[in-house]
Copies of this chain bind each other. A is one copy, B any other.
Amino acid sequence: MFHSFLDLLTSTMSSSSSSRRLLLLSNSTLHPTGYLEYAKEFIKDFLTSAGVSSVLFVPYALADMDAYAATAKRAFGEMGFSLSSVHKEEKPVEAVEKAEAVFVGGGNTFRLLKMLYESGLVEAIRRRALDDGMPYIGSSAGTNVATRSINTTNDMPIVYPPSFDAIGLVPFNINPHFLETDPNSTHQGETREKRIRQYQVNFRVDNHISILGHPGNFFMGHAISTFEN
């Protein structure tokens, strides 16, 4: 049912002529380490190899954006990069136009996508990432919105975005921190796998959509998806 990640990666890269630089993380933390700590070497390599020294942060997925930006600024500072937050910009689209790289943080996917639309950033980020090869780092919800749609998010629909279509930097869906079903569970809710299958029912006819589940506890290979071509 689930194709391997490398299959997807290969088919994605060969079907596109653009130069995408994407680092898509499943999680912001990996138990028991701190914010982004598990991914620091990946992020440093990713940004350094693209010649990036400053990052534009998108904190829209959480309600307290000031606190979120402070956390991100500290983490990127420790890695040697400066960081400014787009929620402090009067003209967010112009900030994206000028950005060396963008980091979209995790939180609630619905809130994030709604604010990306309202601020005009869906189009702006798509254009910069696809046309200019601007490096894009996403984490959890920030990874979901980088895909074709948020149809496979795990988050609660706490606000109503104008669409479930997302930035579309990759032509498939991602289900962050996917967990295998525990066959001994007596939990009465649907399993994650069953929920994803319900989504796939919509695409019996147009079967081009693939869904990738990556376990939250492994960031090598599965939870981190790097596109640099």
Contacts and interface: CB of A to CB of B under 8 A. Distances in A.
Given A31-B186, A189-B177, A198 B151 contact: no
A196 B63 contact: no
A195 interface: yes
A217 B195 contact: no
Contacts of A111: 198
A160 interface: yes
Nearest to A156: B195
Copy count, this protein chain? 2
Given A187-B216, A188-B27, A189-B177, A199 B156 contact: yes
A30 B107 CA distance: 32
A85 interface: no
Interface string A174-185: 001101000000
Nearest to A185: B31
A190 interface: yes
A187 B185 CA distance: 15
Contact of A151 (B156, B196, B201, B217): B156
